[in-house]
Structures are given as C-alpha cells and as structure tokens.
Amino acid sequence: MTIARFEDVEFGDDLPTFDPDTGMENVRRFAKAAQMMAARFTDHEGAKKEGLAGAMVPGVMSQAILAAMIHRWAPDADLVKIDTIFRAPVMVDERHHVNGVVTDLNEDERTAEVDLTVTNDAGETRVLGTATVKLP
C-alpha cells in the first residue's frame, strides 16, 4: 500500500515491510557503485582476516535500503532527514527484514516521524533509526 497525502497517515501506521537483497552479488554491485570495494564488504574470507565474523553490508547501503522503504511507501514524499544507529553488523548472505512505523505527526509541517529497523531472522535489531518525511 502506498500513501499519497499527509491525511492518509495515522500515528502507529506500519510501513509495508520488505526483505532486502543482502546477498553477496547485490552487495558487491552496491559496493562497486559506491566505490567501497573493500574485503570487509565483498568477501567473507577477507572479512574474517580483518577479525569480522564475515562480510557485512556497508552502513550506507543499510541506510539506502531504509530510504527505499520510505519511498516505496510514500513515492511523492520528501525524505527530510534519515538518522541511523548501527547496533550490530548486517551480515552479507543472511536474511534481513526492514520495518518502519509512524511515531509522530506534525500537521503544521505535514511531516511524519518514522521509526526504522533492520532485523535479522533471529529478531535482533541490527540497525535502528528515525526518519522525517514531508508529505504532499
């Protein structure tokens, strides 16, 4: 479901969730485009040599995934601010889930505050944050 106008949104609304492609091929594609071709992102063995449990999704890619969720929900909205806190690595080739929920509305500004999370199959929050979205 997409929303078009501020009036379509209520406090507590869930944004449509989706499972982003955090497989190695897609992460390598992102890393190449973002000029971040480092082993910690693109190679499990290379990442382990750096002391990591495996390759991890770049933080900026996680943020981009969260931004994409907002644009899927509200295609005509402006993303005024997105603020992410990285609690734990988002591991490449593990399944993740992206969620958002409306936690504040400003009628004067026609903005919505949205809580954002990236969780794994164990239900662990790997990334959390908030966004401010200005709606038509």
Partner 1 sequence: MILDLHSHSIASDDGRAKVENYCKWIRKKEVPIDGFVLTEHRQFDFAGDYAALARDFDLTILKASEVETEYGHVLVFGVTPALTERFDFGAIGLPLVRVIEESQHHGAIAVPCHPGRTKVGMCAHIETLGVPDGVTIVETLNGGSRGSEDESAQAMAAQLGYQGVGGSDAHIVSHIGRCATRFPAPVRSETELVEALQAGEFEALSWK
Nearer to partner 1, 36 or 52 (CB): 52
Do 133 and 76 meet the contact criterion of CB atoms below 8 Å apart?
no
What secondary structure letter does DSSP report for 105? E
Q: Which region holds residue 132: left if phi is over 0, alpha if psi is between -120 and 50, else beta? A: beta
Binding status of residue 5 toward partner 1 by CB under 8 A: no
Among the listed residues 1, 45, 51, 122, the single contact to partner 1 using CB under 8 A: 122
Binding status of residue 129 toward partner 1 by CB under 8 A: yes
Binding status of residue 51 toward partner 1 by CB under 8 A: no
| 90 contact partners, CB below 8 Å, separation of at least 6 | 22, 56, 57, 62, 96, 118, 120, 126, 127
Nearer to partner 1, 12 or 51 (CB): 12
Looking at residues 82 to 101 of the shown chain, list those that interact with partner 1 (rule: CB under 8 A).
83, 85, 87-88, 101
Q: In the bound complex, what is the minimum distance in angstroms from residue 125's beta carbon to partner 1?
A: 7
Nearest of 86, 74, 93, 92 to residue 118 by alpha carbon: 86
Residues binding partner 1 (CB under 8 A): 11-12, 83, 85, 87-88, 101, 103-104, 113, 115-117, 122-125, 128-130
